[in-house]
Structure 1
């Protein structure tokens, strides 16, 4: 912090960036005339202790670092109760913006140069016992001199959870190391993993794994955790085998198999050294809680907020993703392609004549390719050929009824039962004495007529669109839980296709959009959910859906025995809908926000956010949390044993 308050007089020139939490400005120092960047908390977060502390951590960490490839932090000051971080202003573009340019082509020499500069920056920070843990293209600036500068040291390692998918060429979570993503102990090798992903992207024009960019970020991340990097023979710009071996080593899921330091990796690149690959026989690292890596906790991440290892509703293990539907295409040079090439910076490339070591490595890749092909054939046989053959096989003489049943499809697809709801102007919220702060002001929302499932989606219904999901006769009528928002979106689309309806959801970049005019299944909006829970009443509604007495209509903490119950056992509300209070809490479509901030977006809610709304409360909740106006929220990748859903359709 500057000692002389007079030094902190600045004139704002322009707004550079605004996010949900922070504002970034270009400014001029009133006395020196120096152009700087000023970052401060967004207006509504300036009294939020956690957000203010996060900004202080970033500034104080930055002040400890001085390196030509790290953006300089100039100071931290407070004015009128608001904290401001001052940094050098850089002429250039975020790497994220460069990667968003259609068919951008970054030259080999430029990519090598930026990789080395990135590793130089990390080496300097690690020597000061500072980890980044949030490396991604948004936190890298390419200056007008074609040099790389890193920013964002001291941010939360889980800042990716607040990322707006629409603002990123590649979602930041894709660059998060497996151990940071799974909330295990990070060290400097975690930054090396992230740097290797960035380097691969610069060099090859694609990510190191087979991903379907139409999938949600959490599903893409699960695909990453289940794969090793692609071989150099896969689509993408060519890189020499020695460089592939270096990047592959840095991308090992097990930190103990990576380079021990950024300096070691940078030296290997400078020497064009082929490195030995040590691949664990167990396959890619698991993201399951509780797993540990050899060599964990060898590095003290000073200057980085502590990682909470206890999962919560808004910060839990992401769900399992769907099978990838395709491979990123190989870049093809066309007219109009953009080539990024800096000033003369030639890096000699050694001859790629096949030495004994290269031949040995090529042989290894051929063996791995054969093994991968065998695994692929096995999966096809097991899950498609053999399984489908069992479904359509005839019963043989002497087969028992159980054997006959097992030869049939376990859960036959059936249309979902739906109840029509007449649309009108609904009043959402609660201004009564029991209302919480996020339940008011009241909102008026014009609703079209729609149809809704009278009961929560059951495990049996979930299995109709998820053939691999196992369900028994004892639990088939329980509401399905332990599912992420993204998995619910996938279910809605697949069930719509099975029922010959038009799917409502479409993945756009790293986000998902909803076509409310499509005929398929979708999640209710928050307004639709509450309108039904209040039994279409605009006033004089009961606190619980269908009754003023919780026990009559709901399974909650006082009567559930701590477990889920089959759907539809309690009394329905006045329009025939069950379990809107209690049993399983329910995902709805909207991003969570205060009602005051969405008066013009009351139907579909805000266009972006960090948490999705969860309504109705569950068997674990007290009575006050199962009220029809009570609101909860969770990350879209969170899953819990008390969160389920129901669906609606256009009428």
Structure 2
């Protein structure tokens, strides 16, 4: 390839299933161009691919520009992404560390989840079309999604088929499990530096479809990763992982050293590949009428005595008095908030977080209830004038003192917060003195003092609650209303650049530009939602990608919805990313007990129940013990996730399990919690271990619940404090 419609080839990058990929330049901008395998193109698929590829907008997928048809063939054009082709990276540097592999696989999985939710399949995933940006915490970008639909694999050279699944080689259409299969092979390649199947072997197709992945090649790997790879690459698609959420949970489990689960037996696949039936969407099952048909409901009402029917209006008035009036009163702050220039006060409350309009927004399901304490949030995004006054420089592309600062990383945003706090004599919320140079490669070491009175980034829940106007009572799609042109700068009205802040209408709380203009960094690591209720959630304690909210001036309005979620590596800094600041009301007073002895007796009883549940392998006994949001071995989990992990360990991993507690010590903590320290003696099959462990309990609605569970060994490995 040399020149195609004004695109000038610069350098060859890779040869993959879909064709050859080149770096090219046009009008001073760089692009990635894949020249499709001319002899194998199915031309009838090209129009559909153009339409579908144009609808893909995800931070881990190269942005599609156009699909050209010329006299010499078909060419897929993408905006250039930073990074090296994964295959070239492995060929040069050898296998990657487990931490890097999990970081990369998690991002690939996020991209696949985005596509699968839209009924789209990548179909040709391989190390030759994955880009890794080592300068940005191994940020991932996938090339050539959907192009497999335009390629007939019959007669293709073996070297291009090594990452095709058995069902694809049999001629069946690709499914979600097809992408998981390819991801499993890519994970194996990253860990070992060797391809699972020898592309030079004339028997490669038979190996892929017959014997499958040689598990002897995996024997040196972490058992958890080995079992995950075997699970992903099962010959029968119905035996593979069924969802990206399930894969994410397993990757997180491996990061946190959850004991391995036996992998499925890898039997040869049949000639006719079974296609799993689709699962009905969650919304459909939730909206089914549990009481049956209207006729049944009518018959029920016909049996109610008339005196009862006459009493219904009186009962309804009572309900209005008991439920609605207190809800209205709840909107009135219990105190007069301090006025902070440039910040809006948000009265705490409860709301439904997530995609409550069922619009299919990124990461918006399942919806769940979140309760928040009062807080302050910036009425506008931090401007360039604000930034330069504190930081002494301006990194922005679109220069104007009253435009939002942009092209700043997450690290730089929290550094600004701490520096501004110090300037105003407030207590900093972060330990960012260690990060004063801004862009670093690991933000797991940064901690937050949520109760400090200094400036900080909003949590993802605080951001959404503020964007919704501090209420769910009048739901709107954008921050202020349903007409985005009144409230948001998007690709349709921005002119391709940021805008001066506060130029459009504010939302109900007087906050501007929460939809559009620039993406806004939040504190949280990105992770899929759970359907459990949460109180003041801070998100997962560890991760690879930080959350972004609000959309920006270069994207369509669909990405500016109040429920839409995005994410980037914390070192990422682009001309459409900024932030706004937030403040807590200050630390709350410590809780005091009226009867300390009774509290300690109750904690002893619950700790005994917790230990007995292990020895009896009674998973249901764990459920009432856990609080609404548990820091479970370094990861914030819901009660159902905690019990799921217990089930995984007790009933799937070991034939024999026994544990006993020694040296039990009960400690009252200043934050009102009660901590139980103990030595735990564990016997699991042929393994025996003793190590110091602990539980923490908090009073939730009058009942003591476990809100933290871990041991000192795990905490030390994760680099988090045990006390």
TM-score (norm 2): 0.36
Q: Which has the bigger relative contact order, CA under 8 A and spacing at least 6?
A: 1
